[in-house]
């Protein structure tokens, strides 16, 4: 399971709420991210600021300064850099139904893992020990999705072969990267559709 956008409510709504709070035009934000991440959100150079942050190669304040500068240039007004990411993460809302689904899967005997690209954020880890057999956070291991190594690292941690593993993510390019390694990919868009697909794949009832 991914975290942001899977175990939280959709990222688009959270980032729009942060943009409103900081007086940032959402389209300006998308433009900056597009210039860094590329048209498919996965084809980027190793020295890209987002990739460096997700691998833990640069500190949060350094990234915030770069992002605030680009947003300020685009918007024409000064966007405060200090605490920018925390203000963004404060808008993320927990998706309790998805967490409950993972917990039921774990209790049903499925091995479960969290695989998340971090932006230097503190995760709300309460209950994770009961939910997950393995936790892989990009900034803690120096790898990031969609790089193949982070998927093989998770498979090793779980002790499950790729063809018996299902990966759930809200970003299609991450799902495609997992599928290229033989992992079954589920593109998460809503609780009901993801739950139904997982139930069919595993033959286990997962909805309450």
Q: Average pLDDT of 111-117?
A: 98
Cis peptide before 13 (omega within 30 of 0): no
Evaluate whether 11-89 and 96-202 have a shared fold: no
Helix ranges restricted to H, the chain = 11-22, 26-37, 49-54, 60-75, 84-89, 96-107, 128-131, 138-141, 148-158, 172-179, 191-202
At residue 155, does pLDDT exceed 70?
Answer: yes
From CA 192, how far away is CA 93, in angstroms rounded?
18
CB 168 within 8 A of CB 198: yes
Name the CA radius of gyration of the chain, rounded. 17
- What's the CATH number of domain 11-89, 2.60.40, 1.10.10, 3.30.720, 1.10.150? 1.10.150
Q: In 47-147, where does DSSP find H-type helix?
A: 49-54, 60-75, 84-89, 96-107, 128-131, 138-141
Going by pLDDT thresholds of 50, 70 and 90, the confidence category of residue 74 is: confident
Tokens of 28: 């300006």
Least confident range from 51-55, 70-74, 163-167: namely: 70-74
Contact 134, 48 (CB under 8 A): no
Q: How confident is the model at residue 46, as a pLDDT?
A: 53
The 10s digit of each residue's pLDDT in 49-66 is 999 999 999 999 999 999
Ranges of each domain in the chain? 11-89, 96-202
Percent of the chain past pLDDT 90, that is, above it, reads: 87
Closest CA to 74 of 35, 29, 33: 29
pTM over 0.85: yes
Confidence grade of residue 77 (pLDDT, cut at 50, 70, 90) = confident
User: In terms of residues, how long is the chain?
Assistant: 208
CATH topology of domain 96-202: Rossmann fold (3.40.50)
Tokens 């967490």, residue located: 99
In this predicted structure, what is the pLDDT of residue 160? 97
| pLDDT exceeds 90 at position 183 | yes
């Amino acid at each position: 399971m991914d975290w942001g956008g899977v175990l939280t409510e959709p990222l688009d709504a959270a980032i729009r709420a942060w943009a409103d709070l900081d007086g940032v035009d959402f389209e300006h934000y998308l433009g900056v991210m597009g210039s860094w991440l590329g048209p498919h959100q996965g084809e980027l150079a190793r020295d890209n600021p987002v990739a460096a942050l997700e691998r833990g190669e640069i500190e949060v304040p350094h990234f915030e300064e770069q992002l605030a500068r680009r947003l300020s240039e685009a918007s024409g007004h000064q966007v405060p850099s200090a605490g920018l990411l925390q203000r963004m993460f404060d808008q993320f809302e927990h998706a309790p139904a998805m967490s409950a689904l993972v917990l039921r899967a774990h209790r049903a005997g499925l091995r479960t893992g969290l695989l998340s690209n971090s932006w230097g954020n503190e995760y709300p880890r309460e209950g994770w020990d009961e939910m997950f057999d393995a936790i892989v956070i990009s900034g803690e291991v120096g790898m990031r999705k969609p790089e193949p190594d982070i998927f093989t690292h998770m498979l090793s941690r779980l002790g499950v072969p790729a063809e018996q593993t299902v990966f759930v993510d809200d970003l299609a390019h991450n799902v495609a990267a997992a599928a290229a390694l033989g992992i079954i990919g589920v593109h998460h868009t809503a609780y009901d559709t993801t739950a139904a697909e997982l139930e069919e794949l595993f033959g286990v009832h997962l909805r309450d």
